[in-house]
Structure 1
Amino acid sequence: MKDKIRVGIIGVGNCASSLVQGIEFYRNANPDEFVPGLMHVELGGYHIRDIEFSAAFDIAATKVGRDLGEAIFAEPNNTIKFADLPKLDVKVHRGMTHDGLGKYLKKVVKKSPASTDDIVGILKKTKTDVVVSYLPVGSEMATKWYVEQILDAGCGFINCVPVFIASQPYWQRRFEERKLPIIGDDIKSQVGATISHRVMTNLFRERGVRLDRTYQLNFGGNTDFLNMLERERLESKKISKTQAVTSQLGHAMPAKDVHVGPSDYVPWLTDRKWCYIRMEGTTFGNVPLNCEMKLEVWDSPNSAGVVIDAIRCAKLALDRGLSGSLVAPSSYFMKSPPVQFTDDEARTKTEEFIKGDDSVVLPGPLKRTSNGNGSGNGQRKAAKKTKNGTKSKR
């Protein structure tokens, strides 16, 4: 019988709420059952219920000091409630603010007066295996500060936010040196704006349609969209979402012809997100083809299942002694992984990873993929295998 996976959460917002609820909701799922949003009920020998929460960090006065099972429903959280939770006996500790609280978030989030807790000490004391970061968009310095704490505590890391960590050689080396795995960067939803736009872009390419212009506009009513009204915090987010789409192209597209990003905050949408995508292309005979679609989703539950799978993959990496950026899981679960594949390729590679047949990690040498596409942070081909894999290419 495998051990439990002890998980720490940074940022007890809507996404954390959906994750915690999801673990409870599917706790007794049959391993042979189809669960929407999960690759497998039992992944690599780990059932959904094998995930247990060991630590949580936030800065909001409405959450710090409370039990995690209560804090996930505290204001300003406004996602849908789909599970009743028992007391989890996990206290929400005071985290580090740094640049995590933008000018619009300050209007709805009152900071806890408590001092920043000992993050490293808490993670060690609670024997946390994997830490999941749900920091707000634009938390560049806060993310890097927390990464240092995670490295010192000896935990695996899942970077759900658009701050480039797993895709950067510097951080890949840091995790390799500490013999720890990382999956990142910027979580993809189950069926969200990015994955829908990627699939349609790939369809255009595979069917020989030249994509000439495209936009993706997103509206929502949660604190994520409120925070993103502060355009100065959006640089990494826009890069991440744009790269996720343009990496599927078979040709270069001028920056002026692609617009991908959050558009506005609509409070009455609460945690729902509405996405509008338009694609203008050229077909045989230089005949135009235009496509428009609208997607309506509950934003936070849309990524919770993906994170559950990512957590279990990170624990498999710890079990197997893998360190650095996990190429296959990152490519399937994240918008800005170290290596971009098509989504079909990424899923196949992740299934191989789960079975133990794909143990590719980074850092490694720079190499372009066969279709010439790469992430904006540099496309790095598989670099390192475990002793049971192929020979190192370093």
Structure 2
Amino acid sequence: MKIKIAIVGVGNCASSFLQGLEYYKHVDETSSPVPGLMHNNFGGYLIRDIEVVAAFDVNGDKIGKDISEAIWTPPTNSRKFADVPYKGVAVNAGFLGDGIAPHMQDYFPLQEAPERIAEVLKSSGAEMLVSFLPVGSQKATHFYAQACLDAGIAFINGIPEFVASDPEWAEKFRQAGIPCAGDDIQSQVGATILHRALVGLVRERGQVIENSYQLDIGGNMDFDNLTDRRRLASKKISKTDPVIFEAGTKDVRVVPADYISFLADNKIAYINIKGRQFGDFPFEIELKMSVEDSPNNAGVMVDAVRAMKLSLDRKLSGYQEWSAYFFKHPLRLLPLGEARRAVEDFIVGR
């Protein structure tokens, strides 16, 4: 059975996601452990069961193109790892709102048609909408969340604008009998989850953390977007809260430091942890990591989509507790190990 999804934001993350659907389409339950997948089979669903049936963007150069072509249209700069054949799914004009930072609005022609979005969602047969909107798109995120309520479909929020983790929005979805998940996708092995794991390990081993910081740099449109510091507020909360949760101190700082265009979709993170160990001696951990940002995102979203399909199959509504493993800013944070166990229990129906 196909999992029919719509996506909003046909940029780097959507490109890696679509490529991943092709790259892993031959993986089945009995395949050997596959690099990049946390679950070959997720509750009976394989990667090849996911089908994109609708897409939205406000970049006029992408609108009207088949999604297989639109994912390569500038300013998208994610790396290619799979061919994506013609899908017969044209990109629709979406809702602009605050989705594009002011300094980026002359990068490409803008086009929107917000009045048609709920209608397109209904007619496409989509069961859920996945948001790959730019950071700082609060109005746009709320618009699409409401469009899901109007269309009667589930919502997966992959960005740090709060819907699933907002009790009021979560209650709206519960009352409508529709599930929602989020917020802000937590990459497979990204800077935030690595930072969380490190500070958790330090505390588990009996040491005390005094302070910690994380600096992120990159060259994709998300980092360009964040050079408008007004769009940073929710991102800093979403990336800092889970580290504070594990670290046991509020002296934690996580900052998207700068946009460096020639890095393209490569993200570099610097993590520093200082504390006290046995004998009250000081210690310091200094770490650098370098990853391709968008595939790191897509590797989690393919599981979140399949988890949402299980939620729909089971007629669940409102905030979905499995969000705590897949997203940085869930409604209720859980320790990583506990969040992972919750996902495995959910898969088997416990």
Write the mapping of 1:62-73 to structure 2, written as runs, cut at 5 A.
Answer: 62-73=61-72
Alpha-carbon distance in 2 for matches of 1:105, 1:332? 33
Contact 1:37 1:306 (C-alpha < 8 Å) held by counterparts = no
Q: How many residues align?
A: 349
Which residue of structure 1 lines up, in the alignment, with residue 345 of structure 2? 352
Q: Partner of 1:73: helix, strand, or coil?
A: coil
Q: Partner of 1:194: helix, strand, or coil?
A: helix
Select which of 168, 172, 175 maps to 1:174. 172
| Counterpart AA for 2:151 | A
Structure 1 runs, 4 residues or longer, greater than 4 Å off: none
Select which of 319, 328, 333 maps to 1:340. 333
Alpha-carbon distance in 2 for matches of 1:284, 1:158? 44
Structure 2 residue runs without a partner (length 5+):
none
Alpha-carbon distance in 2 for matches of 1:224, 1:25? 24
Deviation at 1:117, TM superposition (A): 5.3
Moved more, 33-42 or 124-133: 33-42
RMSD (Å), alpha carbons: 1.1
Q: Partner of 2:339: helix, strand, or coil?
A: helix
Which residue of structure 1 lines up, in the alignment, with residue 10 of structure 2? 12
Deviation at 1:31, TM superposition (A): 1.6
| Counterpart AA for 1:304 | A
The CA deviation string for residues 164-189 of structure 1, in whole angstroms up to 9 with x for no partner, is: 11111111111111111111000000
For the structure 1 residues 107 and 276, does the alpha-carbon distance in structure 2 shift closer, same or farther, using more than 3 Å as the test? Answer: farther
Contact 1:27 1:48 (C-alpha < 8 Å) held by counterparts = yes
Structure 1 residue runs without a partner (length 5+):
358-394
Which residue of structure 1 lines up, in the alignment, with residue 196 of structure 2? 198
| Counterpart AA for 1:75 | P
Select which of 252, 262, 266 maps to 1:272. 266
Write the mapping of 1:159-170 to structure 2, written as runs, cut at 5 A.
Answer: 159-170=157-168
Q: Partner of 2:187: helix, strand, or coil?
A: coil
Deviation at 1:30, TM superposition (A): 2.9
Contact 1:69 1:85 (C-alpha < 8 Å) held by counterparts = yes
Alpha-carbon distance in 2 for matches of 1:108, 1:198? 36
Which residue of structure 2 lines up, in the alignment, with residue 109 of structure 1? 108
Contact 2:185 2:326 (C-alpha < 8 Å) held by counterparts = yes
Deviation at 1:58, TM superposition (A): 0.1
Alpha-carbon distance in 1 for matches of 2:345, 2:252? 34
| Counterpart AA for 1:72 | I
| Counterpart AA for 2:249 | A
In the alignment, structure 1 residue 317 sits paired with structure 2 residue 311: yes
Query: Which structure is higher in helix share?
Result: 2
Which residue of structure 2 lines up, in the alignment, with residue 45 of structure 1? 44
| Counterpart AA for 2:4 | R
Alpha-carbon distance in 1 for matches of 2:335, 2:16? 27
Deviation at 1:156, TM superposition (A): 1.0
Give me the identity figure in percent. 47
Deviation at 1:24, TM superposition (A): 0.7
| Counterpart AA for 1:53 | V
Deviation at 1:285, TM superposition (A): 1.9
Write the mapping of 1:208-223 to structure 2, written as runs, cut at 5 A.
Answer: 208-223=206-221
Contact 1:105 1:223 (C-alpha < 8 Å) held by counterparts = no
Alpha-carbon distance in 2 for matches of 1:127, 1:65? 19
Which residue of structure 1 lines up, in the alignment, with residue 81 of structure 2? 82
For the structure 1 residues 252 and 278, does the alpha-carbon distance in structure 2 shift closer, same or farther, using more than 3 Å as the test? Answer: closer
Which residue of structure 1 lines up, in the alignment, with residue 59 of structure 2? 60
Contact 2:128 2:156 (C-alpha < 8 Å) held by counterparts = yes
Q: Partner of 2:302: helix, strand, or coil?
A: helix
Which residue of structure 2 lines up, in the alignment, with residue 252 of structure 1? 249
The CA deviation string for residues 210-242 of structure 1, in whole angstroms up to 9 with x for no partner, is: 111111001100000000000000000000100
Alpha-carbon distance in 2 for matches of 1:234, 1:258? 16
Deviation at 1:298, TM superposition (A): 0.5
Contact 2:243 2:252 (C-alpha < 8 Å) held by counterparts = no
Q: Partner of 2:102: helix, strand, or coil?
A: coil
Contact 1:104 1:226 (C-alpha < 8 Å) held by counterparts = no
Alpha-carbon distance in 1 for matches of 2:107, 2:281? 50
Which residue of structure 1 lines up, in the alignment, with residue 323 of structure 2? 330
In the alignment, structure 1 residue 96 sits paired with structure 2 residue 90: no
Contact 1:278 1:292 (C-alpha < 8 Å) held by counterparts = yes
| Counterpart AA for 2:217 | F
The CA deviation string for residues 320-361 of structure 1, in whole angstroms up to 9 with x for no partner, is: 01001111x20000000111112111111101001111xxxx
| Counterpart AA for 1:22 | G
- TM-score (normalised: structure 2): 0.98
Alpha-carbon distance in 2 for matches of 1:101, 1:341? 32
Deviation at 1:109, TM superposition (A): 3.3
Deviation at 1:39, TM superposition (A): 2.4
| Counterpart AA for 1:247 | F
In the alignment, structure 1 residue 148 sits paired with structure 2 residue 142: no
Q: Partner of 1:281: helix, strand, or coil?
A: strand
Q: Partner of 1:338: helix, strand, or coil?
A: coil
